[in-house]
Copies of this chain bind each other. A is one copy, B any other.
Amino acid sequence: MPEIVVFAATGRSTEQKRGLCRDITEAMVRNFGVAADQVTVQIVESSLDSKSKGGVLFSDR
């Protein structure tokens, strides 16, 4: 409220995900004026053969 979904390829560390979720939440609070505990962030990770850019799978790059 709002809810943020991050669509990403797998491969990030817990530390990276911890920092991202913290910073996106702070961005919501600062810009939208919502309380932090109202903000959920979910990172949806797909395998490298389930994501493409330019029509080419990440696993084929």
Binding site for B on A (CB under 8 A): 1-9, 12, 14, 16-28, 30-33, 36-37, 39-47, 49-57, 59-60
Contact = CB atoms under 8 A, between A and B. Distances in A.
Contact of A43 (B12, B36, B51): B51
**Copies of this chain per assembly:** 6
B55 A51 contact: no
The 10 closest A-B pairs by CB, nearest first: A25-B55, A21-B52, A23-B27, A2-B8, A37-B54, A19-B31, A43-B50, A20-B31, A3-B3, A14-B49
A57 B32 CA distance: 16
B17 A7 contact: no
A48 to B, nearest CB: 10
